[in-house]
Structure 1
């Protein structure tokens, strides 16, 4: 058994930079990756989907160009070129990550599946069938999560896709049926609809994006329906089966009314499950919660001193920027003794539909559940000057403000460049600025961010 200073399990967006920095700081480090360096983000998450979303957005602009007096007869979509371009970008990012790891002195990269065999000891099974064993006083687990596969009658004998395998399709689905109504589901729905698929979304909750406020969910639903996407909410799927035509049949109840949806392809977008089931965490007595996530404290340390978890495998918001910030906290505490933690960190996120949904802080629903004294400010994008000038008037701006202090508790923006604009409000929250500060702040004209002035000029609810 080889003894090292540090082992990092998982070469995702937290694990890779952590392993490199540890090695550069003099720690003899092993980085183990089961699949591809870069994790979900580079290989089948952010990088490929946002590249394809960019292609789909161009198709939509061309499709609607006549309203601007620009005529584009004979428009066609070459999906093979789009698919190849996506693969090229993914390979470029992945290869760059591998080169960075391999160029780091004191860092060994091992492709294989890691599992614990004892206290702070692991074995790694490599693709060629070999097994290596290692131990280290410090172990960092960034093994991520994968698409959840629900228990639905007939699913085991029915072809289906996940957010990973959907991106491997070299052709556009004729009719894509999506189970799930959250971020991944909606991005994929609009993306493939714009590239030529017929799309149906099935969500069991009364609303799409059930964690968002009802008005935000309704706004997104209207945007998708305006593009011809069928949306079924409050719908329970009780079984699926392979159809005689070669496609799939989805049997559901919508408010106790049975329906059958026939599609060419079925996408499961019902959340993600942590990759702890193959780690044999019991061998080192790690605490795991009921859903399989590794329990950690605010310093990202597990119940075992010297073993940390970062990224999706520890639960909480599953975003690349969270994983990266986890790495920053661990590294700066270790090398700089900063005493950082995850308490009260403000986590923004963006759903890359068109228009985008950007959010930071708490929702109105959460604030009222906590019985906080609040004012709610809203501004439709139809009243935003830049949106009117650009013809991008779909969406809404919304902010939740503490009634007594004027501090911003949370905000949501559905609109063109919504993710960029929400960052302005995030920075204001970090700086402790009030809504009055922002109301009178000077922004460059005519930016979308300038509409923050107008948002806080509205009468609060």
Structure 2
């Protein structure tokens, strides 16, 4: 009698495994047809039950000890999946979209932030919305033109925050939940996931779920330094600050990285007195001093107080005030009084502490990042990781690429890697700071032959026409090949230039090519051409549109 069964098969790591199982099972007398699928983690078998049995097929599959086949009763088990995604941000959704295109039965488990993760809920979207609102307020009170005299601005702070919340809610629905609502193979679950073994998780300590492959995409949260009294004074992070509808009297921001600086400029322009305490010698310490000098000068001009080389060692409440005890650059101590709010912006930490990764011997960095290679593979063959939980560049667009890449690599013999060497990035201060490739410090450390061209915006006609010449464009070229290997820009809307420079680095475009290309006159982009020309000529002695 002919019989057909479907068996879930655990332990396959590639399509080669499926082919090997097929070859072995075909040797059984009575097997008529079969189809073993690695992506689906199952095998379909048609056989003559008078000659061979279902158990014979299972025993044949499990003979090597590498694979485990069920008795067919678990095929429809709602807790068994091809892919489990732990996390609900950009990497997770990108992975889910790729998985759906491959027909994979997928479970996404998310906790903490709403589905959508950091970017849409508490990161990119709300911060850039508030930055633009703050710019509107600033330009209503400041002008670069002597003949234009702004008359001020009326700021309804609570309305600005409410509008921000509406935008976040709309985009969270439109760009995340609506995208996957019609997926036939995706289940979504809210809860805390913890590994039981390399193929099994338990959610909220109750229900267990298994999968052929698992993707860790749990993101990162604000790192809270261990400072005496900090937990008792009611500090804010970007998560809680962005939802504060009552305008604070003032803010002391702990940390002058890109998050702290963007917050500082936005809230200062919305009428909040801002102070920054930074334990290193300058803001945005990851960048060269010529960049941070321009940025620091603008922030001080706008009234932002910056305290470099100050280190807080104790917080305490005195009535409604917060007293911050600091070590000063000269070795003395001081007490800073904050009448408003404390904002912690001292970097981020990966969300790995509650995942039970010690049980599966996952390799982590010293601070807890899941270590991956360029293919998003971890040290465990069926577990991948993507996004801010890893040691890769922490941007929403890299996370999305990583999530998709991880799923492709998990369910394919053809593996692809990610190259970050031309990665563009932007800090949304004013002026904006943007970069791609390496700067001169990295080039020197790498032992490359290089040359730097630096063009002040005072030589760019667009900046002169706008009467806003804050900043410069810096190009780094390999002197042996003339290829662009890095770029840094600090300029109003400077982030709009960096994609072109990133593409030039990626595709090996030479500085000569950049200098000889056409650029529309009176655009900021023309500054790229002028910066390229500066390698060989003094642009101050050239006429407009000259080459």
TM-score by length of 2: 0.80
Per the alignment, residue 192 of structure 2 pairs with: 113
Determine helix, strand or coil for the equivalent of 1:456: helix
Name which of 190, 201, 206 aligns with 1:122.
201
Determine helix, strand or coil for the equivalent of 1:140: strand
Per the alignment, residue 211 of structure 1 pairs with: 286
* CA displacement, residues 248-286 of structure 1 (integer Å, 9 cap, x when unaligned): 434331232433222211111111011100101122221
Q: Are the equivalent residues in 1 in contact too, given 2:140–2:150 (CA < 8 A)? A: yes
Per the alignment, residue 104 of structure 1 pairs with: 183
Per the alignment, residue 425 of structure 2 pairs with: 349
Task: Determine if the alignment matches structure 1 residue 256 to structure 2 residue 256.
Answer: no
Task: Determine if the alignment matches structure 1 residue 44 to structure 2 residue 44.
Answer: no
* CA displacement, residues 18-75 of structure 1 (integer Å, 9 cap, x when unaligned): 1132123211100111131111000000000101111001011111148464444352
Q: Are the equivalent residues in 1 in contact too, given 2:215–2:383 (CA < 8 A)? A: yes
Per the alignment, residue 165 of structure 1 pairs with: 240
Alignment RMSD (CA, Å):
1.9
Per the alignment, residue 273 of structure 1 pairs with: 349
2:323 and 2:416 map into 1 onto residues whose CA distance is 50
1:74 and 1:295 map into 2 onto residues whose CA distance is 51
With over 3 angstroms needed to count, the CA separation of the structure-2 counterparts of 1:382 and 1:171, relative to structure 1, is farther
Determine helix, strand or coil for the equivalent of 2:533: coil
Task: Determine if the alignment matches structure 1 residue 55 to structure 2 residue 133.
Answer: yes
Task: Determine if the alignment matches structure 1 residue 329 to structure 2 residue 405.
Answer: yes
Q: Shift of the alpha carbon at 1:372?
A: 2.2
* Higher Rg of the two aligned structures: 2
With over 3 angstroms needed to count, the CA separation of the structure-2 counterparts of 1:215 and 1:271, relative to structure 1, is same
Task: Determine if the alignment matches structure 1 residue 198 to structure 2 residue 273.
Answer: yes
Deviates more, 1:286-295 or 1:184-193: 286-295
Q: Are the equivalent residues in 2 in contact too, given 1:142–1:312 (CA < 8 A)? A: yes
2:420 and 2:527 map into 1 onto residues whose CA distance is 27
After the TM superposition, which residues 361-380 of structure 1 pair with which residues of structure 2 at under 5 Å, given as runs? 361-380=437-456
Determine helix, strand or coil for the equivalent of 2:202: strand
Deviates more, 1:236-245 or 1:221-230: 236-245
Determine helix, strand or coil for the equivalent of 2:455: strand
Task: Determine if the alignment matches structure 1 residue 312 to structure 2 residue 376.
Answer: no
Per the alignment, residue 295 of structure 2 pairs with: 220
Q: Are the equivalent residues in 1 in contact too, given 2:422–2:503 (CA < 8 A)? A: no
1:239 and 1:247 map into 2 onto residues whose CA distance is 10
Per the alignment, residue 82 of structure 1 pairs with: 160
2:392 and 2:98 map into 1 onto residues whose CA distance is 25
With over 3 angstroms needed to count, the CA separation of the structure-2 counterparts of 1:152 and 1:192, relative to structure 1, is same
Stretches of structure 1 that go unaligned for 5 or more consecutive residues are none
Q: Are the equivalent residues in 2 in contact too, given 1:66–1:72 (CA < 8 A)? A: no
Q: Shift of the alpha carbon at 1:424?
A: 1.1
Q: Shift of the alpha carbon at 1:134?
A: 0.2
Name which of 106, 109, 113 aligns with 1:32.
109
1:232 and 1:131 map into 2 onto residues whose CA distance is 49
Task: Determine if the alignment matches structure 1 residue 418 to structure 2 residue 494.
Answer: yes
Per the alignment, residue 8 of structure 1 pairs with: 85
- In the alignment of these two chains, the number of paired residues is 457
Determine helix, strand or coil for the equivalent of 1:287: coil
